[in-house]
Structure 1
């Protein structure tokens, strides 16, 4: 009876959750309803999946609207009608300029069309078209010509809200959507307050004078049937890469055995062949052959384009993936657990995470869309967050910005708030979690056997790739598993470094960055790992990882693989990180592990480190089947659909342990460890994949540090800011030069040991200006003077001022203040156009400018303004010069002592204690450029907060644990720097400048 039901996926309009809609219908005795969200089919498959639980027959369709104005409703008779609706809706979602017409402008087979009464009164209705009569239209209908054509009329009772509160929320959402005050919201942008679901009998009573309408509506719904099987899920991805499944398997088998020589050479152990046979058999049984082949096809293209990539995730547990070069991790070497990736009990499909350089991923995506017929990106539901909701609703209610700021920061007493502020908080909590708009999944792509529109409509984001309207969880529910095509800057750094090396070192063989076996034995790399000298290196450069590497003193591949997972928050939370460090460093401590756990996880000394460990412990210790154990792992990762099933498996774990006579305290402790970290830990293959990329970057850092740091700077770093990577280059004897018009390019380049920063690092410097400079220099050679530059490059006074301030004309040996005067006299402020070539040169007048000296200090402040940081040592900018001789290298000898030391802030990491109080970890550089690590417990963090970038005087106690030094802060304050000399008379005094000469400023490690 209900042909027009909305969920909250009718974005910024509906207010009912999908399952809540079914629950309401069940309570009201409704047996059939049509889900027709506004311009979306996001909730359709979820409602079909959930409908059996509520014994309701679902019908699917779409409410087509221009903003809030309803044009017509399309309802699918069957799955193909649903596909037609999705395709038709997508034409509008792919082109925002298209307006939805009053009537469908194409023939839509297997669909019913319903027009709202007022809109359809003059239509000549086709056999599949009807006029929808709402309760408010009934009186008017009695006197309308349509009263004579009751066979074309149906009940149209819209459902958008559950109750009055839902309607009030709807109005707020509509105000947010229209960016207007609630008081100014147009009635045409709202639904009706009575758009709620009535009990079935009451709805029939409402239309009792028009029984034909009830009969027509029921007949229409009876003709509709949607069939999606959520019980016996079979893969819905593209079935074959070749002509059929038989030839697919033959190709997979051939590629596998062809890859043996590349990976293992001629001496191949028997266990490798046995592993291959086992995996091929399971892959075939689970119908995952095409999944492997499609990944292979994508990566074959990537290799043909020399794109670097890393295959990671649990896919690295597969030897087939290794032999097909999908991953670079040898599962035999690492004894990786294939069942973590695929097993006969596992219902959900596997997935590979393939990382590409951020520069290459778009081309890979284009290749996928071009090569495979039915392809789409996956959406994510960006939801209303509480603070953002407070801000939006504050504006809707007309609150002043100052009051909104107080509400978002939580600085208020609820009892003292006025009514409007209380309403803002009340409804912010209510809409928290509502979908707000659709975004794009970080890397998920679907490649389907059937058209994507068989399952949902698609929209077109700015990137230009069709994107589904449902997320990855719904896709998995139906059997569509994603291909993860991700991007990261680490691979860009590696590729760019190799390019720089091959270009600058033409007299040597090209660098083989894939020679991982050699890297694992390299002493230089081992030294970097042991001493945590890995700034710029993928995954091992963060302060936390640097400290862990020092504590473990890792110098081998397997140790790094374990460290990559140990660093994850779950292991630390479970308390097992410390246990792992103790057992790693002190073999006698390994006896503390329970004998069963020692047997299950000998490599990690009885400590759960990887996701596979959850499966192993649940299986061998808890007696669960492999399928149950994997369900447990997925449930803890938040990837379960049924909470009841998860709790049932948990209970089974405890029951099995009790049956085996295991002590309850031990079982409870093991469960606590599983529960605390399972959702955060890495699969071992995932950690191993990360470690491979870490080794590649460590090799480049060990042998080509300046080239590697140049590439890191150009890829905008990693964990840290550009400033720290420039500092790191200096620590390796690099000479850093500001942008120069005769040496610099858009990106940074290296000549010998000199790194010239690129024009792209200059704030407000335009890319088209950069292009003009480079084109002119490339065509006609280096610039000889400011006049020569002005003559050859059309440029505005604002743009040339940036170049002069950053000292890009320093080759002229003319003071930049004088150059600025010249530029202002010789360049007008009119719009710059490309120069027109003329027969004669325009003679420029040379003005005599006064001698205007500039200082090294002024240069430093210009650099801060234009680059974001000074190229000199920031300690030389202190208002009061420090006389302290204490450095980071001295601290290890001062364990337990209270010290005072100065540090230049690099980064902070906030965290919370067990009772929810805020504390921080800080990372600083001392005057010599070495790292200082600090701990700020809640009382100190509150009393002495961080006050932004700068140099701080740090007072505290030196702590040394596992050879890792940190300072437990007791007092903390930022030191004042000198007044900006560009605007200060005092700083131009020769006596003042003498203390900070140009040479002093150039002597720097920071």
Structure 2
């Protein structure tokens, strides 16, 4: 009886979750329900999957609307009809200029329901009907359609559960229309009565028109939709070649052909592992999945693209031999059953990382090569703070009040009525889907057309994208190919190229010689001492401290550290236990004998996902199939914890039967649970470690070139400023952009690094292109006049270049050049220069003698680059006299000290009781790191106040050779007034350029090779 039901995937319109809709229908006695979300199919498959639980027959369709204006509803008679509806809807979602017409097209295996409108005169086809809403019943009595009841059906729309749902709907419509609630047009709202009635009550409503009830039931009976959610057979593209048999033959051939590249002398262990894997891969129907990944990466290698294959796929020797991954599972004793086993329902997971510059081309290749391909969507949901902003605008609240609400600085009972409503409904719509986005990496390649399962929309990159997310895709047996981008690979690739041009006589770098890197003493030194700024995955403050605590200097140690840093291990307390057992081997004896036997490499501590599977299987007596439920639970994608809890009870029962003490069983289970959503597979960590070693090699032997590559790829964990600082610490000479040396990106000439034009705020790309093109074509610029003659440029653009001192080669002060520029460049629209026989003679104006100070230069740099190129401590209003440095702190354990630090990074977190606390990373005067901890009382009293130099007071804490300051007080130090705008500021600060230079000479730069040394005795 319900042909037109909406969930909240009728975006910014509906207010009911799919599961909730089914529950409401079941409670109201409905046994058949048609889901017809507005121009959307996100909920369709999940609706079918969930319907069995509620004993409701599902029917699928789409409510086609222009805005809120309903044009018609299409219902699918069967799966073919659903595919046709999806294809039709997708034409409008791929082209936003198209409007949905009033008349539906003729689509096979579909029903069409038009809303009853007095002014419309319909000629209905066999599969078309007119939908009569309860409010239309009186008008129907006097209409010609009363005599044509065989073409009428019940159209009771369901969009809300109750009055609150309708109120929420109105707020969503106001958000969608970007208008005040008071100004929301009634034509943009649904009917307040669009709620579900009990089945009997609905029949009573239409009791004068029994033919309509009969017609509606007949339509619903004729609709049969079925999808297989058993996951027994993947629905990915079945074969890469012409058949599944030839696929297996090809996979086998490629696997054995890969042996010489990976192993010089393969042994029986390798051959047995290959045989075992191939058999299981074939039996589970995953052969094409491997071959498609192989095809993608074969193309990548042909284009010279760097990539890293990671995820659980790194546990597979077949993947290693096909060059999908670069991690040897034999060397690392990777647990194959984590990757794939006969009990595993979904296929292995390959995450393929490419440089951010290469990923788009890889994606284009996939769409061009494979027929039924689409990106996966993600549901971007309403978040509380964003909802407060949106609803605040809808209610007309001023920004100041919205700021108070978003910061949580209020007592709910003290708020006025409107503010209370904003909070109430912001909490209510939290988690509602707001709009469809694109999954960071997921691509599906289906055997059937994508529209068999879903409609698609077309985001800006023009790749068709599904309406359902990765979880629904897995439910239906469509397993994604993860094509990711990261800047780490871009840094490595670019660094190799930079080394080649800066050291042309040296042998080319073999960045894939990982075995040599693992034994390199210089790399071990960097790891042990956490000197890894810019290096992939090992540069963050947390990782830097962990490396110090573990004294990591081996590949396996780094693999473990990569996983230990994850929240799951830290949360369980086992990260600290691992460190203790690593540093004090006598503690290993305290480990449970079975756990130690299962995980000798990690001293009986669960570190990887496969450790959990091993412990569940061996210690907890679970089968591999039951252990796989734990694996899925740990992935963070588990829909319901029901199965997870069943496994938990089985785990406890088995341990009790074995005679394990209950306290030990509880402790082991607590560790297992802490992994949920956070654990790394060992192969995943190993893949990360390979890339870390590549970047560590470059940092160890070519630090300047590697920093240039890091800067050009927009850094990593930190801002560009820190990587510029790091280059200077390694002896680099940093130069501001120069019109005769710089390019778009930073370049290096021996030890001199010229920052690129792209780092100048507001300098336009077309200006940069013209400068470089002219210089390459006709040589270096000789003067400002020469530049103006050759490059068409506006006064605004040339001012940026002059301010950053890009014309310093002229020897003329930039203040004088600015005068010249304003006199010689018109403010009219710039046109391309026309080459003439004679040069136009420019008038040489007499400009006054002007000068600028280093201090002014520093402020220009901060404005245009975002940071000064001098030591930031030189900009203090009161020059520092504090001799305390980071290197002294190790000798001052438990002492309270005061030190000055330049803020580099902050991490905000919350304690177990929800209070805010922070971790800070600073540079001292010499450029070395200071790490701080700000517990809640201090965090509240002494908050961070943006970039700058802070005076930090606190207690020195030393744990495992790692130093932190437990902050008790903190204050940001004042810097000098900007001399470019302040009246007489130079008189009050530095009388002239010489005095500022004298000031600087008394304060050594953190980048200077001459570092002032202080010992604790001199403090």
Q: Please indicate the TM-score interval, normalised by the length of the shorter structure.
A: over 0.9
Deviations 1:484-517 (A, max 9, x none): 0000000000000011112232323221111101
2:10 counterpart residue number: 10
Deviations 1:945-975 (A, max 9, x none): 1111111111122221111112111221111
From 595, 604, 607, give the equivalent of 2:605.
607
Gap regions ≥5 residues in structure 2: 1008-1019
2:527 counterpart residue number: 529
1:799 counterpart residue number: 797
Matches within 5 A, 1:817-896: 817-896=815-894
Identify which range, 498-507 or 360-369, moves more after superposition. 498-507
2:952 counterpart residue number: 954
Contact 2:926 2:1006 (C-alpha < 8 Å) held by counterparts: yes
Within 2, Cα distance between the matches of 1:396 and 1:181? 4
Cα deviation, residue 349, structure 1: 2.2
Cα deviation, residue 35, structure 1: 0.6
Within 1, Cα distance between the matches of 2:565 and 2:540? 10
What is the TM-score with the length of structure 1 in the denominator? Answer: 0.99
Cα deviation, residue 608, structure 1: 0.8
Cα deviation, residue 993, structure 1: 4.5
Cα deviation, residue 991, structure 1: 4.1
Contact 2:68 2:189 (C-alpha < 8 Å) held by counterparts: yes
2:70 counterpart residue number: 70
2:765 counterpart residue number: 767
Cα deviation, residue 988, structure 1: 3.0
Cα deviation, residue 798, structure 1: 0.6
Cα deviation, residue 396, structure 1: 0.9
1:660 aligns with 2:658: yes
1:103 counterpart residue number: 103
Cα deviation, residue 570, structure 1: 1.5
Contact 2:231 2:346 (C-alpha < 8 Å) held by counterparts: no
2:253 counterpart residue number: 254
Secondary structure (helix, strand or coil) at the match of 1:118 reads coil
Within 1, Cα distance between the matches of 2:881 and 2:204? 91
Secondary structure (helix, strand or coil) at the match of 1:768 reads helix
Secondary structure (helix, strand or coil) at the match of 1:549 reads helix
1:1004 counterpart residue number: 1005
Secondary structure (helix, strand or coil) at the match of 1:794 reads coil
1:92 counterpart residue number: 92
1:342 counterpart residue number: 340
Cα deviation, residue 611, structure 1: 0.9
1:321 aligns with 2:319: yes
Contact 2:813 2:851 (C-alpha < 8 Å) held by counterparts: yes
1:204 aligns with 2:200: no
Within 2, Cα distance between the matches of 1:945 and 1:479? 50
Secondary structure (helix, strand or coil) at the match of 2:996 reads coil
Contact 1:6 1:37 (C-alpha < 8 Å) held by counterparts: yes
2:502 counterpart residue number: 504
2:278 counterpart residue number: 280
Cα deviation, residue 427, structure 1: 1.2
From 396, 399, 403, give the equivalent of 2:397.
399
Cα deviation, residue 916, structure 1: 2.2
1:719 counterpart residue number: 717
Secondary structure (helix, strand or coil) at the match of 2:117 reads helix
Distance 1:119 1:372, change over 3 A: farther
Identify which range, 954-963 or 696-705, moves more after superposition. 954-963
2:154 counterpart residue number: 155
Secondary structure (helix, strand or coil) at the match of 1:442 reads strand
1:938 counterpart residue number: 936
Within 1, Cα distance between the matches of 2:994 and 2:480? 65
Deviations 1:586-611 (A, max 9, x none): 11111111111111110000111111
1:236 counterpart residue number: 235
Cα deviation, residue 637, structure 1: 3.1
Matches within 5 A, 1:506-905: 506-905=504-903
Deviations 1:969-1003 (A, max 9, x none): 12211111111111235443464654420893796
Cα deviation, residue 927, structure 1: 1.1
Contact 2:378 2:438 (C-alpha < 8 Å) held by counterparts: yes
1:967 counterpart residue number: 965
Deviations 1:506-541 (A, max 9, x none): 323221111101110111111110111000000000
1:171 counterpart residue number: 170
Secondary structure (helix, strand or coil) at the match of 1:546 reads helix
1:79 counterpart residue number: 79
Cα deviation, residue 411, structure 1: 1.2
Contact 2:926 2:1004 (C-alpha < 8 Å) held by counterparts: no
1:447 aligns with 2:445: yes
1:26 aligns with 2:20: no
Identify which range, 578-587 or 692-701, moves more after superposition. 578-587
Within 2, Cα distance between the matches of 1:733 and 1:683? 39
Secondary structure (helix, strand or coil) at the match of 2:59 reads strand
Deviations 1:12-39 (A, max 9, x none): 1011110111111111111111111000
Within 2, Cα distance between the matches of 1:714 and 1:270? 47
1:410 aligns with 2:411: no
Deviations 1:424-481 (A, max 9, x none): 1111111111100000000000000000000000000011100000000000000000
Within 1, Cα distance between the matches of 2:343 and 2:631? 14
Contact 1:987 1:993 (C-alpha < 8 Å) held by counterparts: no
Secondary structure (helix, strand or coil) at the match of 1:981 reads coil
Contact 1:121 1:146 (C-alpha < 8 Å) held by counterparts: no
Secondary structure (helix, strand or coil) at the match of 1:982 reads coil
Computed over aligned residues only, the root mean square deviation of the Cα atoms, in angstroms, reads 1.3
Contact 2:852 2:993 (C-alpha < 8 Å) held by counterparts: no
Within 1, Cα distance between the matches of 2:245 and 2:305? 31
Contact 1:65 1:100 (C-alpha < 8 Å) held by counterparts: yes
Within 1, Cα distance between the matches of 2:784 and 2:49? 71
Within 2, Cα distance between the matches of 1:904 and 1:491? 29
Within 2, Cα distance between the matches of 1:611 and 1:890? 40
Within 2, Cα distance between the matches of 1:30 and 1:603? 58
Secondary structure (helix, strand or coil) at the match of 1:907 reads strand
Cα deviation, residue 668, structure 1: 0.9
Cα deviation, residue 391, structure 1: 1.3
Contact 2:309 2:324 (C-alpha < 8 Å) held by counterparts: yes
Matches within 5 A, 1:449-488: 449-488=447-486
What is the TM-score with the length of structure 2 in the denominator? Answer: 0.97
Contact 2:517 2:693 (C-alpha < 8 Å) held by counterparts: yes
Aligned length: 1004
Deviations 1:688-744 (A, max 9, x none): 000000000000111111100000000000000000000000011000000000000
Distance 1:785 1:824, change over 3 A: same
Contact 2:443 2:483 (C-alpha < 8 Å) held by counterparts: yes
Gap regions ≥5 residues in structure 1: none
Secondary structure (helix, strand or coil) at the match of 1:444 reads strand
Secondary structure (helix, strand or coil) at the match of 2:258 reads helix
1:365 counterpart residue number: 363
1:916 aligns with 2:914: yes
Deviations 1:833-891 (A, max 9, x none): 21122232211100010111111111000000000000001111111111222211122
Within 2, Cα distance between the matches of 1:372 and 1:52? 34
Contact 1:71 1:119 (C-alpha < 8 Å) held by counterparts: no
Deviations 1:187-241 (A, max 9, x none): 1001101111111111111111111111111111111100101135420000111
Within 2, Cα distance between the matches of 1:45 and 1:696? 44
Contact 1:317 1:685 (C-alpha < 8 Å) held by counterparts: yes
Within 2, Cα distance between the matches of 1:430 and 1:641? 21
Deviations 1:304-350 (A, max 9, x none): 00000000111100000000000000000000001111110111222
Cα deviation, residue 407, structure 1: 1.2
Contact 1:120 1:131 (C-alpha < 8 Å) held by counterparts: no
